[in-house]
A and B are shown apart, each in its own frame.
Chain A
Amino acid sequence: MTEEQAALMPANPKMTARDVKVFYGTNQAIKGVSIDVDMDNVTAFIGPSGCGKSTFLRTLNRMNDTVASARVEGTITLDGEDIYASSMDVVQLRARVGMVFQKPNPFPKSIYENVAYGPRIHGLAGSKADLDVIVEKSLRRAGLWDEVKDRLSDSGTALSGGQQQRLCIGRAIAVEPEVILMDEPCSALDPIATAKIEELIHELRGRYAIVIVTHNMQQAARVSQRTAFFHLGELVEYGVTSEIFTNPRQERTKDYITGRYG
């Protein structure tokens, strides 16, 4: 990382990545990315399809471990601890670094069970009453409580798309993560449901380090304070969102965000 790049990184990083490379077999998807993300800012990853932004996001909680051909090089830390170290418990890691996916994927269980499942298996609740508290608190934070409090035993899959996505965010929150990764969380939602998720992201900022991958540049501009532009597996530019969208430093960033990308 050059001094100039280092100066653009946030001051108190929650997670750091240094010279991260990802290979799928012989194909190199990420070509040496170094970036820090922090608690105070929502960080958006933008870039054209195939630029590696989702692949990189998945390295942050070792989701690529499940892809047999994937190989990760470089160093990624969470609070200074190497998450790829052999001593790292991957299940614990994914509780600390939660993830929300493109398509809402609630378990085919009740709304209550969707949220209660994680805390129960991680032993976060000593009693049914504790669990009730966690479920209510998580659903409140996810902005869904008022809509579902009278039908917690209904199936999670019976909710609307936007509600399902908020349920998934509530489910991620329930295990008290430190980082929440969101991979295109609104691309399957209508504009109203999208606005609710964006408002939720705004409310969750500061409590968790939030990293969001989005194809929608307007969304990146609306929800994030820092934006990283990926292209062909490289991190082209990373900086304050308002700067990136009004005065990007790199020609490739400018061409992409102004709609001149070839």
Chain B
Amino acid sequence: MAEHTIKAFDEEIETLRGLIAEMGGRAEAAIEKAMTALQRQDLELAAQVIAEDKRIDVIEAEVEKLVVQIIALRAPMANDLRDVIAALKIVGVVERIGDYAKNIAKRVPKVVGNNRTLEPISLLPSMAQVASEMVHDALNAFAARDADLAVAVVERDSVVDDFYNSVFRTLVTYMVENPKTVSECAHLLFVAKNIERIGDHATNVAEMVFYAATGETLPDRDRGGQSRED
């Protein structure tokens, strides 16, 4: 894209995009670390995820401040306007994604110390993998202003929803058969729900990326894929 006549404007937009890239990277890493901590029952790693979430909150505040400044001082128009508005909305959503990862990490101590291997946990890493890739692709789509990639992210949301329904059924069955595991299973159910919400939020980011890139809003998609147990 051609440069602005006012170079400082380009620099501000670059700073903004850099902050969002960092924030997205951190959110993605938080999901992966939280899941690793859960699988390995690694309390230290879980604590690290919780501590690192603060940086995500800080970046959110920085982006909000910068967006207000750009709107006030540069009066952005057209694609520039859509970019900064999308940036403002995206950081709010990514901050929520970070919170879900933190929430997963907070549950790690609740399920450790139990030597029974919970079978349902085997589905969660794959589910988290898909959700985390959606976050990754949504933010890459923002960086590249790639509307097609954004659409691909939106379409993948149903995969996470299907995973969630599957995990839900498995956990319920497991709890019925092994009543002593109800407490752990309840925590795992929340983990699954958190991952499902991460998928939804990645979808929201992708929708905003699509708007920023094209100026059009995505047609209302079929939300039938959402978990039935909501």
Q: Which of A217, A253, A258, A261 makes the CB contact (< 8 A) with B80?
A: A258
Minimum distance in angstroms from B201 CB to a CB of chain A: 25
Q: Which residues of A contact B72 (CB under 8 A)?
A: none
- A232 beta carbon closer than 8 Å to chain B: no
Asked if A245 and B4 sit within 8 Å, CB to CB, the answer is no
Q: Which residue of chain A has its CB nearest to the CB of B1?
A: A260
Q: Which residues of A contact B75 (CB under 8 A)?
A: 218
- B190 beta carbon closer than 8 Å to chain A: no
Asked if A259 and B82 sit within 8 Å, CB to CB, the answer is no
Q: Which residues of B contact A218 (CB under 8 A)?
A: 75
A249 to B5, CA, bound (A): 21
- B51 beta carbon closer than 8 Å to chain A: no
Asked if A262 and B77 sit within 8 Å, CB to CB, the answer is no
A253 to B77, CA, bound (A): 11
A255 to B6, CA, bound (A): 13
Q: Which residues of B contact A258 (CB under 8 A)?
A: 4, 76-80
Number of A-B contacts (CB under 8 A): 40
Asked if A260 and B76 sit within 8 Å, CB to CB, the answer is no
Q: A246-B215, A247-B215 are in contact. Are A257 and B77 (CB under 8 A)?
A: yes
8 Å CB interface, A218-242 against B? 218, 221
Kindly state the interface size class of chain B when it binds its partner: 10 to 19
Q: Which of B2, B77, B79 makes the CB contact (< 8 A) with A217?
A: B77
Q: Which residues of A contact B215 (CB under 8 A)?
A: 246-247
- A254 beta carbon closer than 8 Å to chain B: yes
- B9 beta carbon closer than 8 Å to chain A: yes
- B182 beta carbon closer than 8 Å to chain A: no
Q: Which of B1, B76, B78 makes the CB contact (< 8 A) with A248?
A: B78
Asked if A259 and B5 sit within 8 Å, CB to CB, the answer is yes
Q: Which of B5, B6, B78 makes the CB contact (< 8 A) with A246?
A: B78
Asked if B5 and A261 sit within 8 Å, CB to CB, the answer is yes
Q: Which residues of A contact B111 (CB under 8 A)?
A: none
Q: Which residues of B contact A260 (CB under 8 A)?
A: 1-5
Q: Which residues of A contact B79 (CB under 8 A)?
A: 254, 258
Q: Which residues of B contact A261 (CB under 8 A)?
A: 5
Q: Which residue of chain A has its CB nearest to the CB of B4?
A: A259
Q: Which residues of B contact A247 (CB under 8 A)?
A: 78, 82, 215-216
What is the interface size of chain A, counting residues whose CB is below 8 A from a CB of the partner?
A: 16
Minimum distance in angstroms from B213 CB to a CB of chain A: 11
A254 to B5, CA, bound (A): 13
Q: Which residue of chain B has its CB nearest to the CB of A262?
A: B2
A257 to B74, CA, bound (A): 12
A161 to B2, CA, bound (A): 39
- B61 beta carbon closer than 8 Å to chain A: no
- B43 beta carbon closer than 8 Å to chain A: no
Minimum distance in angstroms from A228 CB to a CB of chain B: 16
Q: Which residues of B contact A221 (CB under 8 A)?
A: 77
A261 to B82, CA, bound (A): 19
Q: Which residues of A contact B3 (CB under 8 A)?
A: 260
Minimum distance in angstroms from A154 CB to a CB of chain B: 39
Q: Which residue of chain A has its CB nearest to the CB of B5?
A: A259
- B81 beta carbon closer than 8 Å to chain A: yes
A193 to B76, CA, bound (A): 24
Minimum distance in angstroms from B60 CB to a CB of chain A: 25
Q: Which residues of A contact B6 (CB under 8 A)?
A: 259
Q: Which residue of chain B has its CB nearest to the CB of A260?
A: B2
Asked if B78 and A259 sit within 8 Å, CB to CB, the answer is no
8 Å CB interface, B53-83 against A? 75-82
A47 to B34, CA, bound (A): 54
A248 to B79, CA, bound (A): 9
Q: Which of B4, B75, B79 has the most CB of A within 10 A?
A: B79
A248 to B76, CA, bound (A): 13
Q: A218-B75, A258-B76, A259-B9 are in contact. Are A246 and B81 (CB under 8 A)?
A: yes
Q: Can you report 15 residue pairs joining A to B where beta carbons are below 8 Å apart?
A: A221-B77, A245-B78, A246-B77, A246-B81, A246-B82, A247-B82, A247-B215, A248-B78, A253-B78, A255-B2, A257-B77, A258-B78, A259-B9, A260-B1, A262-B2
Binding site for A on B (CB under 8 A): 1-6, 9, 75-82, 215-216
4 tightest Cβ-Cβ pairs between the two chains A and B: A247-B215, A260-B2, A257-B77, A258-B80
Binding site for B on A (CB under 8 A): 217-218, 221, 245-248, 253-255, 257-262
